[in-house]
Amino acid sequence: MTRAGKVRVLHVITRLIRGGADENTVFTVEGVDREHYDSEILAGCRTEIDGFSPEIRNRTRVLPELVRDPHPIKDIIALIKMVLIIKRGRYDIVHTHTAKAGFLGRVAARIAGVPHVVHTVHGVTFHEHVNPVLRRLYVLLERVAARLCEVMITVGEDVKRKYLAEAIGRRDQYVTIPSGIDLTPFDRVRANPDGTRNALRRELGFDPDDVVVGVVSRLEPRKGHQYLIEAIARLAPDFPRLKVLVVGEGPDRGALLERVRSSGLADRFTFAGYRADIASVISTFDVAVLTSLWEGLPRVLVQYALLEKATVTFDVEGAREIVEDGFSGWIVERQDVDELADRLRRLTVNPEEREALGRRARQRVEQHWNVDLMVERISNLYDDVGAGRAVGEVVAV
């Protein structure tokens, strides 16, 4: 399986940005044993390469024709270029990620004659918000692509159940490996919670008696920020000290700023943009929120829990694997602004409940989402695939 003593691995991803699937991929490339693996990344045109370390930039090649939305001409060109790149690279394993790269990458790998192909399912491509005709097409494409890889890693059990329900792949192809998180910055913040929190709250313009509702996610429509804005608009008249901190960047920033202004909430919302010090920023929250319309396994819920934040989340894929409703947080139906506002109202007026939920949230998650453990499991999976050992139907938690 190896050449020159090392296993050559190519990760193929539709775009490399500051998000869960992307960080998962980068952690894997950075974390595997360099004496045994030589890892590279092939990413699409919307890659934000400057946001990553020099090492990752050096290991990443951008393919301009690899775009997120369907584009027949660019898709064909991307496929041809992928085949050529993979052949020249003489890779032992192609590990694909996300929808478009997941399909084209698996096809290209098989055409190029790669010995082993692995795919990670980071989220459901055929969710209910997709046009029904496209949804059926996506299911069919996923079924085809599943035949082209040996293993399908899912980041959560919800995702695996949905894929198997659509007859995508065989049950023995699946391995569940939760998406890893670097715990170091969270441990550091917990070591000095008040100092970090108070200084940063002052920097962000919050007063000591403000109740800060925070959300960390990319600013794009599927993250559902508009539902949080609607909920805050309902609560604002009763809670003059209620504020919102929005952390993240993305194409929806302008639209969200305008929605906040038109709702009369400009003095309630702070848009912090992308922050590298995410653990420190989360420490400033009193209540944490996730309003995504679909996910794979929302790693940010784990990040909230590690800092003992009371959380309100929409009932997206993976949420119930992290949050126990009513015990370590609150889960509400997607797009249900009434219930979202009700849970936020309850937590705004009840600091004791916030503390209890947050404490139980940390106890629930802290043993299972360590990035080193994720990398170890993926490395072991590569070894098993190369040796021809069975790997499926494993829940690595």
Per-residue pLDDT for 370 more than 90?
no
Compute the mean pLDDT over every residue in the chain, rounded to the nearest whole number.
Answer: 93
Does residue 378 register a pLDDT over 90?
yes
Per CATH, 7-180+370-395 and 184-365 having the same topology is answered yes
269-326 residue pLDDT tens: 999 999 989 999 999 999 999 999 988 889 999 999 999 999 999 999 999 999 999 9
How far is the C-alpha of 31 from the C-alpha of 48, rounded, in Å?
21
Backbone angles phi, psi at 364, to 5 degrees: -75, -30
Q: Tell which residue, 143, 196, 185, has the closest CA to residue 167.
A: 143
Mean pLDDT, residues 384-388:
89
Is the pLDDT reported for residue 366 higher than 80? no
Distance CA 120, CA 110 (A): 17
- State the alpha helices, DSSP H only, in the chain: 20-31, 54-59, 72-89, 99-111, 132-146, 157-165, 184-191, 193-204, 225-235, 253-262, 278-283, 299-306, 319-322, 337-348, 351-365, 371-387
| Cβ neighbours of 249 (radius 10 Å) | 18
| Chain-centre distance for alpha carbon 58 | 23
Q: How confident is the model at residue 397 (pLDDT cuts 50, 70, 90)?
A: very low
Look at residue 393 and tell me whether its pLDDT is greater than 80: no
How many whole angstroms separate alpha carbon 361 and alpha carbon 304? 8
Domain assignments of the chain as residue spans, ordered by start: 7-180+370-395, 184-365
Q: What is the DSSP letter of 174?
A: E
The CB-side HSE value for 284 (13 A sphere, CA atoms) comes to: 29
Rounded distance between C-alpha atoms, residue 377 and residue 267, angstroms: 46
Does residue 56 carry a pLDDT above 50?
Answer: yes
The CATH architecture to which 184-365 belongs is 3-Layer(aba) Sandwich (3.40)
Counting every residue written for the chain, the total comes to 397
The pLDDT, as a whole number, for residue 296 is 81
Domain 7-180+370-395 has CATH 3.40.50.2000: yes
Measured distance CA(252)–CA(262) in Å, rounded: 15
- 320-358 per-position pLDDT tens digit: 999 999 999 999 999 999 999 999 999 999 999 999 999
Region 158-162 average pLDDT: 92
**Residue 43's Cα: distance from chain center in Å?**
17
